[in-house]
Amino acid sequence: MLCDMQLGGLLGHLVPPFRPNSTTGEPTTRDTGTEATDAAHEEHVNTDDGDQGPIGATDNPEKRRSTVREIVIVVACVLLLTWVLQTFIGRQYVIPSESMEPTLHGCAGCSNDHIVIDKLAYRFGDPKPGDVVVFNAPTESWEGGWTSRRSSNVVIKGVQDGFSWFGFAPPDEYNLVKRVIATGGQTVACKNADGRGVTVDGKPLREPYIDTALQADTAAGTPTSCYGTDFGPITVPDGNVWVMGDNRLSSADSRAHITDELNGTVPVSEIRGKVRFIVFPLSRIGGMDVVNPQP
């Protein structure tokens, strides 16, 4: 309908109706050549809202309001979707240190790995040996002097928390990434003297993810079977896990916190998710393989 009306209007300008000759009374027409074409460019036509304006005029308040509403709705939907994803489904983290080498890369001045965790992984199940997980520091001994970066100003802190909800700022907690070695009810230990390495329920682990070239015991000059000092036996409480870094000599993991109230274990409730993917750098993109070290 709009096209028809516009076409009719344009034709009305280009081919005007017959008018009688003022002298003879006979019908006559205007020249429809160049003069008519030029005139058509200068004419005004009806705009959509009935106002007179130049062809192509867009000064329409209702259209502007509609566009603004659409933009607001799109932005709100994007923020809502981002919040749902970050809160319930997954979140991205950056690996800051070498404690999980060679599985996850991280060091000062490196192209640190960016990982994505699955927050749904343990809503319907429990962590399994071999899972690589991100968790919140369960006790102060894990924090290593960490302090909150949030402002003391209530308003600014609220803005920072809001950014965190949408993934634009880190959460206000100290997060770590390690590998699950033992779960609730299992007993973990390591004695260098027996040369068996880490054992769970008396059985030595198979740990292909450890790069022995990275492990150098500076006291003995060669790697020891525990890649560090003796520990255990420690029985993991139900609902907790025992975690260790793949780079054993550069990881402050459960072994370093045996004297705290949880004996170095981590409550499952503090686990934020299971590492699923490396998404950056491009040369490292890929899924996270789960290797169960227990025989």
Distance CA 209, CA 94 (A): 20
Catalytic site includes residue 63: no
For residue 50, the model assigns a pLDDT of 46
Query: What Rg do the C-alpha atoms of the chain give, in angstroms?
Result: 35
Higher pLDDT, 51 or 133: 133
Going by pLDDT thresholds of 50, 70 and 90, the confidence category of residue 65 is confident
Q: Does 164 have pLDDT greater than 90?
A: no
Q: Does 243 have pLDDT greater than 70?
A: yes
Distance CA 129, CA 207 (A): 11
pTM: 0.70
Percent of the chain with pLDDT over 90: 46
From-to residues of CATH 2.10.109.10 in the chain:
92-287
pLDDT tens digits for 259-270?
A: 999 999 999 999
Distance CA 114, CA 82 (A): 18
- Structure-derived torsion over alpha carbons of residues 160, 164, 170, 172, reported in degrees to the nearest 10: 70
Query: What's the average model confidence in pLDDT over 233-254?
Result: 96
For residue 35, the model assigns a pLDDT of 40
Percent of the chain with pLDDT over 70: 72
Higher pLDDT, 154 or 48: 154
Cβ distance 226 to 251 under 8 Å? no
Given the residues 99, 251, 254, 274, the one annotated as active site:
99
Q: Does 44 have pLDDT greater than 50?
A: no
Q: Does 216 have pLDDT greater than 90?
A: no
Q: Does 37 have pLDDT greater than 80?
A: no
Query: What's the average model confidence in pLDDT over 5-26?
Result: 44
Catalytic site includes residue 128: no
For residue 153, the model assigns a pLDDT of 81
Q: Does 152 have pLDDT greater than 80?
A: no
Higher pLDDT, 92 or 52: 92
Given the residues 97, 119, 178, 254, the one annotated as active site:
178
Cβ distance 248 to 213 under 8 Å? no
Going by pLDDT thresholds of 50, 70 and 90, the confidence category of residue 168 is low
Report the topology of domain 92-287.
Answer: Umud Fragment, subunit A (2.10.109)
Cβ distance 119 to 88 under 8 Å? yes
- Lowest mean pLDDT: which of 77-86, 101-110, 211-220? 211-220
Q: Does 281 have pLDDT greater than 80?
A: yes
